[in-house]
Amino acid sequence: MPPSREMRVQILTFPNELGAERMALDAVVLLAKKLGFPPERVDDIKLALAEACTNAIAHGCPPETACDVTVTVKATPQKLDIVVEDAGISPPPAFITAPDIHKMVSGEARLGGMGLYLIQKLMDEAEFLPAAAPHRGNRFHMVMYVPPGGTHDGK
Amino acid sequence: MMENDLSVNVEQLNSTTAVIHLAGDVTMFAETAVKNAYRSASKNDCTNIIIHFRENDYINSAGIAVLISIVGEVKKRKQRLLLAMPSTHFQKIFRMVGLSQYADIFPSLDEATAALA
């Protein structure tokens, strides 16, 4: 079934180069503003998408290999629905843990590993979807809901 | 790979305090510039380091990791770290990851410097 008039679907594909995700961020920020999300929540969506794209770029391709990351966005008056897909050479983590800043500061833990945690805190829903087919890559799904009236108080 | 879009400047406020002014995107590309600025700010045995962000700047988790590495250095040198940031989004993110446990967060540079008076 084709998308309804209320639904805008954008499929953005970019190479696995850090920084190349900017065009997807700009497009989704525009959509989020049109849906009526307040600036604070637009910032949340932008950061969550940036983290998902960075993960896909960093972990979704074999090193020194060119491949693509695809962002699919569905916007309705009720929600913004985003899927980030990569080539999926690394399996997704089994669970998402909160970063331990004390261990990072003391040097006991590596710096980083905060992206998925932030996404989970910032978005209303965030999860890895089953692969579309065996060996077809990781799919990360995020949703932010727009309450009636187009304002969103945030978490 | 895209170029870094960050400008970094160090201002020596007085004998004990230096301000690192950041303007732009704080991402993994910021690591060298921010670390160099911190070293420069610490040259004169400053005990207070203020990192000053602008309202519309951008930070991601890799940029936060850069700041956490600075926190580690600040702790070793027994300095005080103050973050001046008008963006409530930044303030929320920094609290989420626990940075507020290691740095005092203020909504403006004026308020950060006033806290040192």
Judged by a CB distance cut-off of 8 A, whether residue B43 touches chain A is: no
- A125, A143 contact by CB (below 8 A): yes
The arithmetic mean of pLDDT across residues B97-107, rounded, is 95
Q: Which residue has the tokens 């985003």?
A: A82
- Per the listing, tokens 């990072």 go with A104
Q: Which residue has the tokens 């911190």?
A: B38
- Can you tell me the mean pLDDT for B3-16? 88
Beta carbons within 8 Å of B46's beta carbon, 6+ residues apart: B12, B15, B16, B17, B18, B79
Which pLDDT value is given to residue A134?
Answer: 66
Name the CATH superfamily, with its identifier, for domain B6-114.
STAS domain (3.30.750.24)
Q: Residue A49 in contact with residue A71, Cβ under 8 Å?
A: yes
Give the pLDDT of residue A53: 95
Q: What is the ipTM of this complex?
A: 0.86
A with B: how many residue pairs have Cβ under 8 Å apart?
A: 67
Nearest to A75 by CA among A155, A151, A25, A143: A143
pLDDT of B14 higher than 60? yes
Alpha carbons within 13 angstroms on the beta-carbon side of residue B93 total: 32
Contact list, A115 vs chain B (CB under 8 Å)? 60-61
Helical residues (DSSP H) of A1-155, grouped into ranges: 22-35, 39-59, 101-106, 115-122
pLDDT reported for residue B5: 82
Domains and their CATH numbers in chain A: 8-145 (3.30.565.10)
Q: How far is CA A98 from CA A92, A114, B28, B37, B94, in A?
A: 16, 7, 20, 29, 13
Q: Do A118 and B96 touch (CB under 8 A)?
A: yes
User: Is it the case that residue A143 has pLDDT exceeding 70?
Assistant: yes
Is any Cβ of chain A less than 8 angstroms from the Cβ of B86?
no
The token duo for B75 is 């702790």
Average pLDDT, chain B: 92
Per CB-CB distance under 8 Å, the chain A contacts of B101 are 101-102
Q: Between B108 and A66, whose confidence is greater?
A: B108
Contacts of A88 by beta carbon, 8 Å cutoff, 6+ apart: A60, A131, A135, A136, A137, A138
When comparing pLDDT for A17 and A89, which is higher?
Answer: A17
Instruction: Mark out chain A residues that contact chain B at CB-CB < 8 A.
Output: 17-20, 22, 40, 43-44, 46-47, 50-51, 54, 99, 101-102, 104-107, 111-112, 114-115, 117-118, 121
The pLDDT assigned to A5 comes to 60
Chain A nearest-CA distance from B74, in A, is 10
pLDDT of residue B95: 93
